[in-house]
Chains A and B, each alone.
Chain A
Amino acid sequence: MKITRFTPPGNNTDLDGNAAALQQWSDLLSGYFTEAVDRLNNFLGQQGAGASQFYNPLTQGIAAPDTRQDITWNGFPRRFISPQPGVPTNYAAAEPTPAAGLVRPQDEYLEWHVTRDAQNRITSVQFTCEGPDYWRFLAGADQQKLLELYRQFISPQVQLTDLFTPSGYNVRNRWNTANGAMHLTHPANNLFAEVQLGAEATVRRQQFGAEVTSSAALIKCARFGDGSRNSDPKIGIEVNNFARQGFHITLDDPVGLYIDGLDDHGWQFADGTPAQGFFKILRGSPTRTLRAEYRLPSALAAQGKTVSDVLIGGKPIHFGGQIAERITMKLTGVVCQPNSVQNLPVACGAVPQLPALGAAPLAAQADELKVTRSQA
C-alpha cells in the first residue's frame, strides 16, 4: 500500500477545508508508524533477526497488489464474561455508574454510555470506538468543531471550558465520562497503541525450539498487550500469521478501530413484535463505524417503551453490555508480497524498548502520553 496522506478516522469530514490540520493529522499518524518501524528495526537488528516487516505506507509505501484482511473481535470486555458454567457474566462491573473523570473499564476499543430514565430503565446506549488521540488533536486544531461535535452528540449544554484543563484538552472531561461517551477513555484504547500492537506483532517468536503460533503463547512471549482481552491476542496472532508467511504488513488507511456490526436479529418486545433496526450509525460509515446509538424510534418511545423492554433471546436489556456483546469490532490489515521477508524468530523475553512512563497514575498519563496496550 502506498498512500499520499493519512486520512482522519472513518474518513470523517471534521477537518474538511482545513488543509493544514489534515496535514498535521497525517504527520501525527505517520509519526506513530515511523516510531514503530524504527523501534522494530533497532530491536530486530540487535537480535540479528532481520528488519521490520511492518512499514509506514506514507514514507515507505509499497506499490504492489495488496490483500486487505479484517481482523475481528467481540466488543464486550473479556475480563467480565462468565469464566465458567454456573458463573454469570458480570455486566454490572463492566459499566460502573459513570462519574466525572472515571475511566470506563471497557478495554476492547469499544466503550459505551447508558442513559436511564427516572425508573432506571435504559433509554439509549451510545457506543464509541474513536481514539482519544484524534480528539486531542482536534481540540488543538479546531476548538469550535470540537465543541460543535460535543454539542451534537452529547449535549447542547457543553461549554468549551468544560473540555479543557489549564494544561489542555481533558480526555476525561465530565461530558466524556459522567455525562456521555464522546470518545474512548480507557488508557489502552488509543490509536498509538493500535499501531504499536500491529507493529510488534509482526515480530516472529520462538520458544522451546519451535516458532510460536498460538495467540496466548505469543502475547506472553512478546508482551505487546494483555492476554485477558479479546482484541490484543487476536490482533497479535493474525498479524503474526502474516509475518510468518513473509508479507510486508501495515494498517489500512484511515487507521482506526471500527464497529463491524451489531447482530440484533430476532430481538423483540415481550408481545413478540420485532425490535430490530434500532442501532443507528452516527459517525463513520457502515463499513467504518465510529459512533452508534441504540435507541428506540420516537413512536415507540412515545408509547412508553424503552430499551429495557427489548428482549434478546427472552432476556430484557438491563445493561449496555448486553448489546456490546453482540457487537463485532474490527481493524483492517494490509499485506503484500508474500514470502518476500525472511526474518528470524526472536526468543521470548526480549521486547522492543517502549517509551518510558512516569510515576503518575496511568489514566492520567493517558491524557498526555502515548500508552501502549501492554502498559495499560
Chain B
Amino acid sequence: MSPALPAPPEPLLEVDDIQGNILAGFQKDHQLLVGLRLRDIAAARRWLRRLVPEVATTTEVHHFNQLFQRLKTRRGRDPEGMAATWMNLAVSAGGLEKLTSPGEVAQLPDDAFRLGLLARSAAVLHDPAIGEPGGPDTWKVGGPDRVPDVLLLLASEVRSQLDAAVDRLLPRQDDGAAADLPEVIYNEHGDVRPDLPGHEHFGFKDGISQPGVRGLLSHNPDVVLEPRHLAPSDPRSQVDARPGMELIWPGHFVLGYPAQSRIDGTPLPPPPLPLPWLKNGSLLVFRRLLQDVHGFRTFLRERAADLAARPGFAGLTADHLGALFVGRWPSGAPLVRSPGIDVPRLGADEWAANHFNYVAPMPPALLRPGEVHPPDRFPAAQPDAAGLLCPFAAHVRKANPRDQDTEIGDAFDTATRRILRRGIPFGPPLPADAAGPDGVPRGLLFLCYQASIEQQFEVLMGNWINAPSTPRPGGHDPILGQAAGGADRFIVLPPLPGQAGAAVTVPLPPRWVTPGGGGYFFAPSLTALNDFATRP
C-alpha cells in the first residue's frame, strides 16, 4: 500500500438541517413506515407545518446514539429506560410535484428518482412484471396508483411509543376537512428479530458493513461525525474510520457536499445545485422485500446433501452452503477470515467482522492509544482474488466488491457506489423447526440513503447483484439477485478449502426474495420542509 497522504479538510455538515436517519441512523428496535397520499395541498401544507418541528435532525439522533453507546459500553448492556422516538419523512417525485412544481422536480439531478421505482423496477432491478407473481400490481405499496406522496419513518426502542407518536403525527381534524387531509395508504411495522437481534429472516447477521461518512460536526476539526479509531501510524488511518469502515465523502449521501473521484478517490467540489432546496437533502430507496424462508432453508438442506457427495464438497452442511451464498456465516463472520467454520465471536465483533479485503492482504489495524475496543486476535483475512474462499457471486461480495475490480472501475469507483442502509425486518421469524411455509408475510423493509439512486443503489442491483458476468463471472447473487426475463439463475461455487475438485455451477430457483412494494423518495432538509410547508 502506498503511504496515505493526509486527507484534505472535511466539510462542516449542517447537521441541524439534515434529517437524522440519513447520516446518524435511527438504530432502533422498532420502526413504523406510513405512506400517505396528499389531497388538498393547503391541508397538506398545514399538516407539514405541524410536522416539521417533530422531524429528528442529525444532531439529535447522533448525540442520542453516542450517549446510548457510551452507556452501553461502560455498563456492558443496553441502558434501561433510555429511549427516544424519532420521525423522519421523505417525499416521492409525485409528492414533490404537488408541494413544489413539476418544473422544479424536472430539475432534480437524478433520473431514477424522477421516474420512480415503478418505471425502474423491471429494467434495472429485474423485478417481475405486472401480472407476474411479485409484479408491482401485487405490491402492498408503491404499485400502480399506490405510490405514496409522503413516507413517514418512525422509530423507537419501545413499540408502544411508536403508536402514540403516530397518533400525534398523522393528519387530524385541525389540519383541514377530512376529505382534504392526506390519506394513509400504507403502514407497516418493522421489528428487530426478538430471537436473533441484528439478523434478517434467513438467519444471517445484517447491516454489518456501512461506510463512514466524512464531515465535521463543528468548526473544530477533531469533532467529526464518524469518530476515528485508527492510530495515525496506521496507513489506513486516512481512509478508514475504524477497522473495515471506509471513509466516504458526504456528497455521496447528502446533496451539496464534496463527493470523491471515481478514478483516484480525491475529493471533488460539489456541482452547483439547480434548486437551493436540494441542499442537505438525500435520496431514499425503500424496498419491501418478502423472504421465502422455508424455501431457502429447504434448498440449502437438500442441495448441501447433494453437493456433499461430489468431489470438493465433502462435509458440506446447509449452514456452510448458506455461508457460501452470503459470503458470511450466520454470525456475520466473513468467509475470507474463517473459510471453514462459523466463529460467532468473530461475527459478534463488528470491527473484526468487517476488517477484510478480497485481493490485498489486510494487516491488523493499529488502534489509537486508549481505544477501548478489544484487539482483533482473529485469523487475518486471506487474499482471495481467485474467489476460492468467498464465491464471486456471494451476496456480500456482489453488493460491495471492496478492492476487487469491477466492470466499471476499481476500488475507488466502488467506494462511490456505497449506500447508507437503514432497513429492518418485518413479520415474525419462521420457527427453526417449521415443517413448511406458514403463509405469514415476512421479510425486510430495506431502506437506504444516497445522493444518486441511479449511480449507487441501481448500480449495485443492476450491474452486480442481478448480473451473472459482472463484477466477475460467477453467477447471480443468490440472496437478492433476479435473473433477467426467466433466464436461469445460478452461482458458481469453488471446491471447499483444502479439497480437490472442480468448481460447480449450482442452478438456483428464480428467487427467494420477492419484491412486495417500495418507492424512490427524497428526504428534504428541514429548511426545504419549512419551504414546502409555508408556500402559498
Contact = CB atoms under 8 A, between A and B. Distances in A.
Interface string A308-319: 000111110000
Interface string A72-108: 1110001001111111100000000000000000000
B123 A312 contact: yes
Contacts of A74: 407-408, 463, 470
B407 A216 contact: no
Nearest to A277: B485
B360 A216 contact: no
A150 B457 CA distance: 42
Given A214-B360, A313-B119, A314-B120, A87 B271 contact: yes
A90 to B, nearest CB: 13
A261 B408 CA distance: 15
B319 interface: no
Contact of A207 (B2, B120, B268, B385): B2
A299 interface: no
Given A85-B452, A265-B126, A208 B360 contact: no
A315 B403 contact: no
A169 to B, nearest CB: 33
Nearest to B385: A241
A214 B485 contact: no
Contacts of B110: 85
A85 B255 contact: yes
A84 B251 contact: yes
B407 A313 contact: no
Nearest to B404: A237
A330 B470 CA distance: 10
A194 interface: no
Contacts of A210: 1
Interface stretch (B63-71, B259-267, B338-346): B259-267
A198 interface: no
A337 B366 CA distance: 38
A73 B407 contact: yes
Given A72-B473, A83-B261, A207-B2, A216 B123 contact: no
Interface stretch (B146-154, B155-163, B409-417): B409-417
B451 A263 contact: no
B124 interface: yes
Contacts of B111: 314-315
A234 interface: yes
A215 interface: yes
Contact of A213 (B359, B409, B450, B455): B359
Interface centre among A87, A261, A330 (most CB of B within 10 A): A87
B469 A70 contact: yes
Given A228-B263, A266-B484, 19 more contacts: A69-B473, A72-B472, A78-B408, A84-B251, A88-B109, A213-B359, A213-B383, A216-B264, A216-B411, A216-B412, A230-B407, A237-B359, A261-B469, A265-B485, A268-B123, A313-B119, A313-B120, A314-B123, A328-B407
Top 9 nearest A-B pairs (CB, nearest first) are A266-B122, A314-B119, A266-B123, A265-B484, A314-B115, A85-B451, A85-B452, A241-B385, A313-B123
Interface of A: 69-70, 72-74, 78, 81-88, 207-208, 210, 213-217, 227-228, 230, 233-234, 237-238, 241, 244-245, 260-261, 263, 265-268, 272, 274, 276, 311-315, 328, 330
Interface of B: 1-3, 109-112, 115-116, 119-124, 126-127, 129-130, 251-252, 255, 259-264, 268, 270-271, 273, 359-361, 383, 385-386, 403, 405-412, 416, 450-452, 455-456, 462-463, 467, 469-473, 484-485
21 contacts: A69-B473, A70-B469, A72-B471, A81-B262, A84-B268, A85-B451, A85-B456, A87-B271, A208-B2, A210-B1, A213-B360, A233-B405, A233-B410, A234-B407, A260-B469, A266-B124, A266-B126, A268-B123, A313-B115, A328-B407, A330-B469
